[in-house]
Amino acid sequence: MNHDPSCIFCRIASGQLPSRKVYEDEQLLAFHDIAPWAPVHFLIIPKKHIASLADTTPAAHEALLGRMLALAPGLAREQGVTNGFRTLINTGEDGLQEVPHLHMHVIGGPRPWKKG
């Protein structure tokens, strides 16, 4: 796997930093956000370092991106979301991406939320 030792999400994916895991397999890790916007807020990340959605291509990443999206509904249900959720991928500086590692927010639960 391609890892960036200076990337906080690579360090979480490799087990160097702790997280509250929601799901894990060979390619993906899902864990609770440390600053949640809503009652349920977790991230789904690839274990391989990909800086942003802008760095993906259909040929190389279509299956991975599809798995990230397909995983979200079941994990949201497991976390108690029953009335809908949001998925959000911030991309690049102008897209308000804070951590330069591709990640998808899954946000749900009863409103009102802090953001969104």
Q: 41, 49, 101, 103: which is the annotated catalytic residue? A: 103
Q: Is 103 a catalytic residue?
A: yes
Contact 106, 85 (CB under 8 A): yes
* Residues annotated as catalytic (active site), given as ranges: 103
